[in-house]
Structure 1
Amino acid sequence: MMENLSMHDPPPQPGGSSLGRAAAAAAAATTTTPQPQQLPPQMFTTAAQLLDLTDKKLLVCLRDGRKLNGVLRSWDQFANLVLQSTVERIYATTSDPSDPQPKGLYAEQTHGIFLVRGENVLLLGEIDLDKDDDPPPGFEKAEFAVVEKLAKEQRAVERTREKKKIQKLATLGFEGENIGEIIL
Structure 2
Amino acid sequence: MFTTAAQLLDLTDKKLMVALRDGRKLLGILRSWDQFANLVLQSTKERIFVPPGTAPNQTRGLYADIDRGLFLVRGENVLLMGEIDLDKDDDPPPGYDLADLELVQSLAKRRKQQDKAKEKKKIKMLATEGFEGENLGEILL
The two structures share one fold, judged by TM-score above 0.5? yes
Q: Is 1:112 matched with 2:112?
A: no
Asked if the contact 1:167–1:182 (Cα under 8 Å) also holds between the matched residues in 2, the reply is no
Shift of 1:45: 5.9
**Inter-partner Cα distance in structure 1 for 2:120 and 2:103:** 26
Distance 1:50 1:181 in 2: 34
| Bigger strand fraction | 2
The yes-or-no answer on 1:167 pairing with 2:127 is no
Tell me what 2:55 maps to.
95
Q: 8 Å contact 2:55–2:107 — kept in the other structure?
A: no
Q: 1:49 to 1:177 in 2, by over 3 A?
A: same
Q: Match of 1:86, SS?
A: strand
> What residue number does 2:98 align with?
141
SS of the residue corresponding to residue 108 of structure 2 reads helix
**Cα deviations by residue, 1:106-141 (Å, 9 ceiling, x for unpaired):** 001111111111111111011111111000111111
Q: Secondary structure at the match of 1:174?
A: coil
Gaps of 5+ in 2: none
1:173 and 1:81 mapped to 2: Cα distance? 42
Is contact 1:60-1:123 (8 Å) kept?
A: yes
Q: CA RMSD in A?
A: 1.8
- What SS is found at the alignment partner of 2:130? coil
State the AA in 1 paired with 2:99: A
Work out the CA distance in 2 between the residues paired with 1:174 and 1:125: 37
- Aligned sequence identity (%): 69
> Normalising to structure 2: TM-score of the pair?
0.91
Structure 1 regions of 5+ residues with no counterpart? 1-41
Q: Which structure is larger by alpha-carbon Rg, 1 or 2?
A: 1
Give the count of matched residue pairs.
Answer: 139
Deviation at 1:102, TM superposition (A): 3.1
TM normalised by structure 1 equals: 0.70
User: Which residue matches 1:59?
Assistant: 17
Does 2:124 match 1:124? Answer: no
